[in-house]
A and B are shown apart, each in its own frame.
Chain A
Amino acid sequence: MLIIKNLHAEVEGKQILKGLDLKVNAGEVHAIMGPNGAGKSSLASVLAGRENFEVTEGEVDFEGKNLLDMAPEDRAREGVFLAFQYPIEIPGVSNINFLKTALGEIRAYKNLPPLDAKAFLQLSKEKQKLVEFDAKLVNRSLNEGFSGGEKKRNEIFQLAMLEPSLAILDETDSGLDIDALRIVSKGVNKLRSDKNAFIIITHYQRLLEYIVPDFVHVLYDGRIVKSGTKELALELEEKGYDWLKEQSAEKEATTI
């Protein structure tokens, strides 16, 4: 589904991704871990097409198409969804109206007719139930005055509504208490299928107890320096990142 090859990117002249490779197949959940400043959130931004992130080298193939050539909205319409680390507030725009517009645009892109009001409402109710999203928040202004946890849960609700093939969760667990974490994870698990894939960016192993990944990657200094299965996350929890930093530095030294 997603093939990233030798991806280099910079922001304001500063190199942040330095030759990243990653392959994600349908049905897989990949966790990306790593210390602060390693480039985890930058990877999410580059994939989503945030403006000030400039790709200087490498390629990203998404379902046979060159993702890097597409405008951010087209990436979304093709099925790339980013759950934001800090969801944005938009006063005056109701959550439901926003979702109706978004779903309409995505369907139009796929040459599907818009859902009628009744079908849309039905879908919304179904998904609210699925991810345990508070009905009161559906008609409120988009993220305005939401608590941190409510915002993150709204991201998952949107994810459920828009049904993307690839969902990137950017530190969705940050700022969540244990109950919210459980609800969010439960939602994600219900949405997992053999047709979609998840990239879960996180600092902590805690989230991975709830959403069990197929693969775990360690991102350090703009590259994936180690990949493994869920056991790697436990190892990291125990040993920290320092041993990987040293390993990476040695490797760097030998390649030069």
Chain B
Amino acid sequence: MANDNEIIDNIANKEYEFGFVTDIEMDVAPAGLNEDTIRYISAKKNEPEWLLDWRLKGLQSFGKQKLPKWQNFELPAIDFQRISYYAAPKSKKKYDSLDQVDPELLATFEKLGIPLSEQKALAGVAVDVVFDSVSVTTTYKEKLKELGIIFCSFGEAVREHPELVKKYVGSVVPHSDNIFAALNAAAFSDGSFVYIPKGVRCPMELSTYFRINTENTGQFERTLIIADEGSYVSYLEGCTAPMRDENQLHAAVVELIALENAEIKYSTVQNWYPGDKDGKGGIYNFVTKRGICKGANAKISWTQVETGSAITWKYPSVILQGDNSTGEFYSVAVTRNKQIADTGTKMYHIGRNTRSRIISKGISAGQGQNSYRGLVQIGQKADEARNFTQCDSLLIGDKCGAHTFPYIESKNNTATVEHEATTSKIGEDQIFYLNQRGIDSEKAVALIVNGYVREVLNQLPMEFAVEAQKLLSITLEGSVG
């Protein structure tokens, strides 16, 4: 059996499996963030005046904001003026079928194991592919259309459904929310838009694959999902990115709005380039995700499996405004080599009898640092509000770290708040025990880790759970000799 040092070395030597560069002609904006850049982006996208105004407000907010200092890691210096804020594949045509799509692009997806051609035919997953910044193709649109469901790129929504976008954009994450949200408001490239009409249950999982491609291009996606009264939608977001030497900033914004009796389930598998074993390169994943249960009995559920990025920094949150509304957060975050994760959630209980549930599972290996940071806030009017938080950490090796920062603020004494936390280490004893039953160390770690994260993976849709389990195994492969 390998000793701990070998375990750590092996994790460190594991190469990122999805690193490759797609050679497609790109239309790239000159680097720098200023009013001209914003006007350039807006003009490129033929946006209406009101959206340009909103972007400019975002730029103003950005100018007023400072980088936060409370996080549990040293924020690397980011030169916002060196980033190019717009990149789109040069061909501007919209495609009716996959045959018209650049074969290079399709090959990229093949390599990632998400063959669009198959997915189109397969078990009802409609995929809105965001390749860098512009949506290239949208499948299943017709079928969704019959039900009145809108699932399109953000840009298209601006053109086709401006009233919805205007009403809801920035309503959950305002442009002044934080510096990265402001940056996104000013410079957002594209993203996805979903609207589920009253009483409609979306019959398939809606899915978007994000992929950062051009060097030095910040990726500023904006996703807006609105579930009208009594509707239901499950949305999947999965990511991989090619290998890079220079850090790439990703500052996305996701806004979810669930009206009365509506339910939104949002699942993420994130596997962006984490940097090499010395911590060089890798994606900065600074995302603002927030949902609001606007009406009574609404429900929003976040599930995330975070294995990639040099730094993952995000707190998918729920504002529980409607009475009896429910917020959930299920998370697995893996850090190895020199990866950092500072993630968790915020649950704002405003309405009566609101409930929230937080299950966070951190896994640290190598020299990875994993922090859970969570806020449970119970407002004055949130009678009988309930929260349950479970926050577990698993350590592999003795050079990694796990940290927990739970915050609870209650202004209502009828509320019930529970917090449980555990820290455990994959022990040599456990591995030896499994060895002695014929299971090698690598499989033993996979078995232990899968057992540990099961509660979270169970929340993912079936196919996605299988994918996530595979990803975890690949990620921790070589964690023991």
Contact = CB atoms under 8 A, between A and B. Distances in A.
Interface string B1-32: 10100000000000000000000000000000
Given A92-B451, A93-B447, A73 B440 contact: yes
A102 B1 contact: no
B439 A105 contact: yes
Contact of A73 (B3, B439, B447, B450): B439
Contacts of A103: 438
A203 B160 CA distance: 82
On chain B, which size bracket covers the interface? 20 to 34
A72 B1 contact: yes
B451 A76 contact: no
A51 B432 contact: yes
Contacts of A93: 447-448, 450-451
A71 B440 contact: yes
Give the residue among B1, B3, B434, B438 with the most A Cβ atoms within 10 A.
Answer: B438
B430 interface: yes
A90 B3 contact: no
B1 A71 contact: yes
A105 B451 contact: no
Contact of B454 (A51, A73, A92, A158): A92
Given A51-B3, A71-B1, A88-B429, A158 B437 contact: yes
A70 B380 CA distance: 65
Interface in A83-138: 84, 87-88, 90-94, 97-99, 101-103, 105-106, 109
A238 B92 CA distance: 94
Nearest to B361: A92
Interface string A29-40: 000000000000
Contact of B436 (A48, A97, A99, A141): A48
A60 interface: no
Interface in B126-179: none
B443 interface: yes
A88 B428 contact: no
Of B439, B440, B452, most buried by chain A (CB within 10 Å of CB) is B439
A97 B454 CA distance: 13
Contacts of A48: 432, 436
Contact of A90 (B438, B443, B448, B453): B448
Contacts of B433: 84, 87-88, 90
Contacts of B1: 49, 51, 71-72
Contacts of A92: 448, 450-455
A30 to B, nearest CB: 20
B397 to A, nearest CB: 15
Contacts of A75: 436
Given A51-B3, A101-B447, A88 B438 contact: no
A77 interface: yes
Contacts of A73: 435-436, 438-441
A226 interface: no
Nearest to B424: A91
B429 A105 contact: no
Contact of B451 (A51, A102, A141, A162): A141
A98 B454 contact: no
A91 B433 CA distance: 13
B102 to A, nearest CB: 42
B429 A102 contact: no
A71 B443 CA distance: 14
Interface string A63-84: 0000000011101110001101
A71 B431 CA distance: 13
Nearest to B428: A51
Nearest to A52: B428
Contacts of A206: none
A49 B436 CA distance: 8
Contact of A77 (B3, B428, B438, B451): B438
Given A90-B448, A92-B452, A93-B451, A105 B440 contact: yes
B439 A88 contact: no
Chain B CB count within 10 A is highest, among A48, A73, A76, A109, for A73
B424 to A, nearest CB: 8
Contact of A76 (B438, B441, B450): B438
Contacts of A51: 1, 3, 428, 432
Nearest to A168: B436
A251 interface: no
Contacts of A90: 430, 433-434, 447-448, 451
A43 to B, nearest CB: 15
Contact of B435 (A72, A87, A97, A98): A72
Contacts of B452: 91-92
Nearest to A158: B437
Contact of A50 (B432, B437, B443): B432
B440 A162 contact: no
A91 B443 CA distance: 16
B8 to A, nearest CB: 16
A99 B362 CA distance: 26
Nearest to B433: A88
Given A72-B432, A72-B436, 9 more contacts: A48-B436, A75-B436, A76-B438, A88-B433, A93-B448, A101-B439, A101-B443, A102-B437, A158-B437
In order of increasing CB-CB distance, the 7 nearest A-B pairs are: A92-B451, A93-B451, A72-B435, A102-B437, A88-B433, A76-B438, A106-B438
21 contacts: A48-B432, A49-B1, A73-B435, A73-B438, A76-B435, A76-B438, A77-B438, A82-B436, A90-B434, A92-B451, A93-B447, A93-B451, A97-B447, A98-B447, A101-B443, A101-B447, A102-B438, A105-B439, A105-B443, A106-B438, A141-B451
